[in-house]
Amino acid sequence: MAGARKPVVEVRRSQRRRRTVSAYRDGERVVVLIPDQFSRAEESEWVDRMLARLAAREGRLARSDAELLTRATRLLDAYLSDYGAQAVPASVRWVTNQNGRWGSCTPADRTIRISHRVQEMPDWVIDYVLLHELAHLIVPSHNAAFWALVARYPKSERARGYLEGIAAAVAVPALTD
């Protein structure tokens, strides 16, 4: 494909690393960390695999506000269509200043903000967070009527469990040797 080129890749081998492979960007370069005992063929295979994973991750991070609004419209049609204009937000956008919550809604001006931390999560989790905030346009509080609206999304319990797991994992201090 024209214009697309493979980035400069630096492979770092480690005698301490046994099975895991990881990769990250360092400026224009991609650093791939592999076990020292990998063959050249395994190295090549894992470099390609990790470049694909990084590209997929970066594609998810590039999700735009416009895509988020399109997603909100789809969710409204599927789960809240009986509320009409009452459930339509004035704006929906990604924000980077919400580190203590997944999303927020201001019913007074009909704005919804979704934390950038959600961008990397599976689509069904993003849909849940977005529907949760859309439901606040109809019911501002977390009462039974609100949770009944959220429960219209078939994966709501699963998504809540996922988010609770992420929150618990982040709150647990790293284990040291």
* pLDDT tens, residue order, the chain (177 aa): 444 567 899 999 999 888 889 888 887 789 999 999 999 999 999 999 999 888 877 766 567 899 999 999 999 999 999 999 999 999 999 998 988 899 999 999 999 999 998 988 899 999 999 999 999 999 999 999 999 999 999 999 999 999 999 988 877 565 544
Which pairing describes strands 22-26 and 8-14: parallel, antiparallel, or unpaired? unpaired
- Of 8, 46, 40, 14, the residue nearest 27 (C-alpha): 8
Whether the model pTM is above 0.75: no
Q: What is the pLDDT of residue 143?
A: 97
What's the pLDDT tens digit per position in 94-112?
Answer: 998 988 899 999 999 999 9
